[in-house]
A and B are shown apart, each in its own frame.
Chain A
Amino acid sequence: MSKRILIADNDVLLSALVREALERVGYQVAVVGDGLEAWSKIQEGAPDFLILDLVMPRLDGARLCRHLKADPRFHSLPVIVLTGTPISGDSDMEALGAEAYIAKRASGAMVEDLLGTLQALERGERPTRAPKDYRSDGDRPRQLVLELLAETAHLSAILENLGEGVLLVDPAGRLTHVNPAGAELLQRPQRELLGAELIAVLGAEPGDPLEKALHQLTSQGGLEPVRLQYSYRDRMLHLTLTNLLEGGRLAGYLLLAREVTPFFRRIHELTALNELANLFTSTLKLDEVLRRVMERIQALMQVEAGSLLLKDPETDELVFQIAVGPQKDAVQGRRLNAGVGITGWVFQAGVPVIVPDVQQDPRFYRGVDATTGFVTRSMLCVPLKVRDKVIGVIEVLNTIANPPFSGEDLNLLSAIAAHGATAIENAVLYEESGKRNRALRDLLETSREFGSTLHLEVLLSMIVRKTLEIAPAARSGIMLLDEESRYGYVQASTAHGRTLRANPRLDLARYPEIRKVIESRQPVIVVDALEDPLMQSVREFIEPIGLRSVLAVPLVSQGQVIGVLDMAHYDEIKRFTADEVDLCQILANHASVAIENARLYGQVTRHATELEQKVRARTQELLMANARLEDASRHKSEFLANMSHEIRTPLNAVIGFSEILRELRVGPLTERQSRYVGNIWQSGKHLLQVINDILDLSKVEAGKLTMAAEALPVVMILEDILTIARVLAHKKDQMVEADVEPRLPPLRADPVRLKQILFNLLNNAVKFTPDGGRITLTARRVAWSSGQPADGSKPMDHLLRPPLDGPSEWLEIKVQDTGVGIRPEDLPRLFQEFTQLESTQDQRHEGAGLGLALTRRLVDMHGGRVWAESEGAGKGSTFTVRLPFDGPGA
């Protein structure tokens, strides 16, 4: 690490010189202008050496040195005293305690002396040269003159050698001294400058910053400098102006000047680039971006003309997107083939180029100038690159060769192009995506429109119209294919300015492009039908009609090519763009769905019509059947009424006369006659019962049997019915026993129907029990909850379970007999109409089996259950009825 040296000297020029010398040999140097500054600097961090002037403002060197040597922190800091002033005596010198003393001189000798002293101190030696030379020896005036001369000489040397321009100006504003660097900066010889007025030399005008600075200096007085940037000719100067005072009176000005032109230029360019970057990001409109780029370039580079060319991805041509300059309108929109001209060369090579005189360059393309009258001489052309891909070029032109474009111009334009290329690319992408979005939006709208009609013809012509909106072409058409894809049926065709042959059925052998679409299921693009090998076989057909460019896309539905949507240009080649192809395919996809829907709708409509007709016919049939049924029902009722009436009338005679006979009212009968009359009466009564049962059943079926439920005293009803049963049983010497639970609650039931139920059961028991048998009726209250089978019932018989959520309190009546019994296999059929059980078929037991069927219906109407049990034939039967106390539907 290099040693650090602090120079404390108010002599700016000397300290600059010393600093330069010390830095050259590797020291790190800091300079301060007075003792106080030096003191605070040292306290921040002590240097390795201190070079100290003795005479300084505020705190002088002698005092600082004594101060340091008295301070234990700094007393070992080596101090080299520079002095132009004679030391008054040894004692003074020794009192300072400095390590070395060097006389100020205006030559390299002093610097050498200083370096020697430093080296000695570094080695730890005491410098050999003592400041004896400067002792006052009584020869003081001579010594002073010598010293002053030396001082002046060294000042002059410093001035002459300093890189900065140093100008001294007298109070009247005239230049009294200009060093060589100053003359060089002002680009004028020193002799012309001396005595000239500073204001005039610099070309400052009234109110100029320089004039203001001079004013400020005069008015503020003192030694505080004024700094400013000043534009002089093509240079930018940094000026430092300071008052020169002599004995407190203004003696003139010191002006230090430094050139900062490159620095300024760089700032200027960076500012411009920054502005451009902001411009680029402020808009995504391509034209706007391009225009701003070129206007900036023209303003910044002060060129006469310029253009920005972009590659057309469809054709690979370079297109003049924007131009500036006198002939911009003639240039804009023109196209150059790839590789043509210097622009083409730059585009292909991807590197910038400066051409001082294009007329001498074989690459130069004269075609543009030839039409505009602009004579290009000097050119700078840079590529526009995005991620190493060249998308275009920027060229700037001048009609004069001087000054030629510089490397700096090239760098600037390249920087602009780098920024611009990205912005352009973004704008292009945005514009493309915008176009695509608009097209897609249109398509979406279109699909909605397609959905608005299910009429195939209307739909197809709508599709064709939309196709032409999306991809303008001379003709567009849709053909749908037959099943073998041999023929296409042109369904809709729209042409502009040309009538097409009316040919609804096309032999696809003559349409290779359509066949290719069907085979490949991909869009087929024919750029030039006359050149495309695909179309060669049909050239003789297409040539006369002038077909040139074709785009054909498949209509695919459920994996099948159902048709082809195509469009064509005639007589001229018009390339369909990739976007148009994409959009047409999307349109075709939507169209396919719509076509399929329309076709399906057609089918569905036909089916629906057929179905509707069928339904109508069927409804008619049903209505007729219903009418017939109603008719039949009416006939049945009429029949039953008539039959009943017709049978009752003769029965009246049969029963009535036989009763009269039986009762011997018309004379005595023999025992045999009496038995016969009894048979007639019995049969008549039975027949009457059959008729009544039939009528009741038919009423139940027709829902005409009404029920009037009321709370009935069960015991009384049972007594009534038992009385009748006992009369019947008495005739057969049968016993009828009853076991009725006392205090049964009232039962909600229809009294007539309840009696009918009980009478049927008892009557059956009497009928099927041999003479002398026994019949038992029991009545009791049972709890029978939901889902629980009745005791004794067969689990398989679901009817013997109480209804779900039904009542739980039931009246159970059992009629048990000692009769013929029932075979188990007959039990299920027992309650069906007209069931005559074979085992019981016996002439003694008349019965059509209607009684139990009716009983079952009546029990059902009461919400109850009835079933029969038997141990088998000959072992008697038990009929059980359960009725809810609360009545039906309680």
Chain B
Amino acid sequence: MDRELVVELVEQEGHLVLEAGSAEEGLVLAVAERPALILMDLALPGMSGFEAIRRLKADPNTAAIPILALTASVVGTGARKAAEAGADACLIKPLDTSIFRETLHRLLAPTPAK
């Protein structure tokens, strides 16, 4: 249901969305498809979102892809840890749709690659 909301919001902005049910799946998909943006939930079954971000950023094939991390946790240090792992932005659920859209545009903006 959560993923569906995100898919809906991204698709509404006119983008094509590929979905993965786990970090492992996502890593394979990311290497294979080289998407323009990766949205990563931090709480995942199996490999954690943090670990997945670290691996994506460590892999030269995917390092350049911006990553938007999503988390429902405000108690822990999720957002900070996500930034440390290499996420380009982190939004806290529940998402404010307007902020989400703004962030999406910012990350997909045709700015010179980092």
With known contacts A656-B95, A660-B12, A663-B97, A695–B5 Cβ distance under 8 A = no
Cβ-defined partner of A644 (8 Å) among B9, B12, B75? B75
Cβ-defined partner of A660 (8 Å) among B1, B8, B76, B93? B8
Contact, CB under 8 Å: B72 / A695: no
Find residues 153-194 in chain A having any chain B CB closer than 8 Å to their own CB.
none
Enumerate chain B interface residues (CB-CB to A < 8 A): 1-2, 4-5, 8-9, 12, 43, 72-76, 92-97
Find residues 646-678 in chain A having any chain B CB closer than 8 Å to their own CB.
646, 648-657, 659-660, 663, 665-666
Contact, CB under 8 Å: B43 / A645: yes
Mostly helix, strand, loop or mixed at chain A's interface? helix
Q: Which residues of B contact A663 (CB under 8 A)?
A: 97
A688 within 8 A of B: yes
Q: Which residues of B contact A695 (CB under 8 A)?
A: 74-75
Contact, CB under 8 Å: A654 / B72: no
With known contacts A660-B8, A660-B9, A660-B12, A648–B74 Cβ distance under 8 A = yes
With known contacts A648-B93, A663-B97, A656–B9 Cβ distance under 8 A = yes
Q: Which residues of B contact A654 (CB under 8 A)?
A: 94
Contact, CB under 8 Å: B93 / A649: yes
Q: Which residues of A contact B96 (CB under 8 A)?
A: 655
Contact, CB under 8 Å: A651 / B93: yes
In whole angstroms, what is the CA distance A646 to B92 when docked? 13
> Which single residue of chain B is at the shortest CB-CB distance from A651?
B94
Q: Which residues of A contact B76 (CB under 8 A)?
A: 641
A306 within 8 A of B: no
Would you give the shortest CB distance from A194 to chain B, in whole angstroms?
A: 156
- Sample (21) of A-B pairs whose CB atoms are under 8 Å apart: A641-B73, A641-B76, A644-B73, A645-B43, A648-B74, A649-B2, A649-B72, A651-B94, A652-B93, A652-B95, A653-B1, A653-B2, A655-B94, A656-B94, A656-B95, A657-B8, A659-B97, A660-B5, A660-B8, A688-B94, A695-B74
With known contacts A652-B5, A652-B95, A684-B94, A665–B72 Cβ distance under 8 A = no
Total residues of chain A contacting the partner, CB 8 A = 25
A115 within 8 A of B: no
Which one of A637, A640, A641 has the greatest number of beta carbons of chain B within 10 Å?
Answer: A641
Cβ-defined partner of A648 (8 Å) among B1, B8, B12, B94? B94
In whole angstroms, what is the CA distance A665 to B100 when docked? 15
Contact, CB under 8 Å: A653 / B72: no
Q: A648-B73, A649-B93, A654-B94 are in contact. List 17 more A-B contacts (CB 8 A).
A: A641-B73, A644-B72, A644-B73, A645-B73, A648-B72, A649-B72, A650-B1, A652-B93, A652-B94, A653-B1, A653-B4, A655-B94, A656-B5, A657-B8, A660-B12, A695-B74, A695-B75
Would you give the shortest CB distance from A160 to chain B, in whole angstroms?
A: 155
Q: Which residues of A contact B93 (CB under 8 A)?
A: 648-649, 651-652
Contact, CB under 8 Å: A657 / B5: yes
> Which single residue of chain A is at the shortest CB-CB distance from B97?
A659
Counted as pairs of residues, one from A and one from B, with CB atoms less than 8 Å apart, the total is 62
Would you give the shortest CB distance from B24 to chain A, in whole angstroms?
A: 21
Would you give the shortest CB distance from B54 to chain A, in whole angstroms?
A: 21
Would you give the shortest CB distance from B102 to chain A, in whole angstroms?
A: 14
> Which single residue of chain B is at the shortest CB-CB distance from A647?
B72
Would you give the shortest CB distance from B19 to chain A, in whole angstroms?
A: 16
In whole angstroms, what is the CA distance A660 to B12 when docked? 9
Would you give the shortest CB distance from A400 to chain B, in whole angstroms?
A: 132
With known contacts A652-B2, A656-B94, A659-B97, A645–B72 Cβ distance under 8 A = yes
Q: Which residues of A contact B92 (CB under 8 A)?
A: 648
In whole angstroms, what is the CA distance A657 to B1 when docked? 10
In whole angstroms, what is the CA distance A693 to B53 when docked? 31
> Which single residue of chain B is at the shortest CB-CB distance from A650?
B1
With known contacts A645-B43, A652-B5, A660–B75 Cβ distance under 8 A = no
> Which single residue of chain A is at the shortest CB-CB distance from B41?
A649
Q: Which residues of A contact B12 (CB under 8 A)?
A: 660, 665
Would you give the shortest CB distance from A516 to chain B, in whole angstroms?
A: 87
Would you give the shortest CB distance from A737 to chain B, in whole angstroms?
A: 28
Would you give the shortest CB distance from B85 to chain A, in whole angstroms?
A: 18
With known contacts A645-B43, A649-B2, A665-B12, A655–B75 Cβ distance under 8 A = no
In whole angstroms, what is the CA distance A692 to B74 when docked? 9
> Which single residue of chain A is at the shortest CB-CB distance from B3?
A653
Enumerate chain A interface residues (CB-CB to B < 8 A): 637, 640-641, 644-646, 648-657, 659-660, 663, 665-666, 684, 688, 692, 695
Would you give the shortest CB distance from A327 to chain B, in whole angstroms?
A: 119
Would you give the shortest CB distance from B70 to chain A, in whole angstroms?
A: 8
Q: Which residues of A contact B43 (CB under 8 A)?
A: 645
Q: Which residues of B contact A660 (CB under 8 A)?
A: 5, 8-9, 12, 97
Q: Which residues of A contact B75 (CB under 8 A)?
A: 637, 640-641, 644-645, 695
In whole angstroms, what is the CA distance A641 to B73 when docked? 7
Contact, CB under 8 Å: B73 / A653: no
In whole angstroms, what is the CA distance A646 to B2 when docked? 12
In whole angstroms, what is the CA distance A666 to B2 when docked? 17
> Which single residue of chain B is at the shortest CB-CB distance from A656?
B5
Would you give the shortest CB distance from A684 to chain B, in whole angstroms?
A: 7
Contact, CB under 8 Å: B74 / A652: no
> Which single residue of chain B is at the shortest CB-CB distance from A691?
B74
Would you give the shortest CB distance from A26 to chain B, in whole angstroms?
A: 145
In whole angstroms, what is the CA distance A652 to B3 when docked? 10
In whole angstroms, what is the CA distance A649 to B70 when docked? 10
> Which single residue of chain A is at the shortest CB-CB distance from B1?
A653
In whole angstroms, what is the CA distance A645 to B43 when docked? 10
> Which single residue of chain A is at the shortest CB-CB distance from B73?
A645
Cβ-defined partner of B97 (8 Å) among A644, A656, A666? A656
Contact, CB under 8 Å: A644 / B74: yes
Would you give the shortest CB distance from A679 to chain B, in whole angstroms?
A: 16
With known contacts A660-B8, A660-B12, A652–B72 Cβ distance under 8 A = yes
Would you give the shortest CB distance from A690 to chain B, in whole angstroms?
A: 13
With known contacts A660-B8, A660-B9, A660-B12, A655–B95 Cβ distance under 8 A = yes
> Which single residue of chain A is at the shortest CB-CB distance from B12?
A665
In the complex, the 7 A-B pairs of residues with the closest C-beta atoms, listed nearest first = A641-B75, A648-B72, A652-B93, A652-B94, A656-B5, A651-B94, A655-B94
Would you give the shortest CB distance from B109 to chain A, in whole angstroms?
A: 22
Which one of B8, B73, B94 has the greatest number of beta carbons of chain A within 10 Å?
Answer: B94
> Which single residue of chain B is at the shortest CB-CB distance from A665?
B12
Would you give the shortest CB distance from B98 to chain A, in whole angstroms?
A: 8
Q: Which residues of A contact B8 (CB under 8 A)?
A: 657, 660, 666
Would you give the shortest CB distance from A662 to chain B, in whole angstroms?
A: 9
Would you give the shortest CB distance from A752 to chain B, in whole angstroms?
A: 14
Q: Which residues of A contact B72 (CB under 8 A)?
A: 644-646, 648-649, 652
Contact, CB under 8 Å: B5 / A653: yes
Would you give the shortest CB distance from A645 to chain B, in whole angstroms?
A: 5
In whole angstroms, what is the CA distance A660 to B6 when docked? 11
Would you give the shortest CB distance from B5 to chain A, in whole angstroms?
A: 4
In whole angstroms, what is the CA distance A755 to B34 when docked? 42
In whole angstroms, what is the CA distance A660 to B8 when docked? 9
Would you give the shortest CB distance from B105 to chain A, in whole angstroms?
A: 16
Q: Which residues of B contact A655 (CB under 8 A)?
A: 94-96
Would you give the shortest CB distance from B114 to chain A, in whole angstroms?
A: 29
Q: Which residues of B contact A646 (CB under 8 A)?
A: 72
Which one of A641, A648, A651 has the greatest number of beta carbons of chain B within 10 Å?
Answer: A648
Would you give the shortest CB distance from B45 to chain A, in whole angstroms?
A: 14
Would you give the shortest CB distance from B71 to chain A, in whole angstroms?
A: 8
Q: Which residues of A contact B74 (CB under 8 A)?
A: 644, 648, 692, 695
In whole angstroms, what is the CA distance A116 to B85 when docked? 167
Q: Which residues of A contact B94 (CB under 8 A)?
A: 648, 651-656, 684, 688
Would you give the shortest CB distance from B94 to chain A, in whole angstroms?
A: 4
Q: Which residues of A contact B1 (CB under 8 A)?
A: 650, 653
Q: Which residues of B contact A644 (CB under 8 A)?
A: 72-75
Would you give the shortest CB distance from A180 to chain B, in whole angstroms?
A: 152
Would you give the shortest CB distance from B48 to chain A, in whole angstroms?
A: 14
> Which single residue of chain A is at the shortest CB-CB distance from B43?
A645
Q: Which residues of A contact B5 (CB under 8 A)?
A: 652-653, 656-657, 660
Q: Which residues of B contact A684 (CB under 8 A)?
A: 94
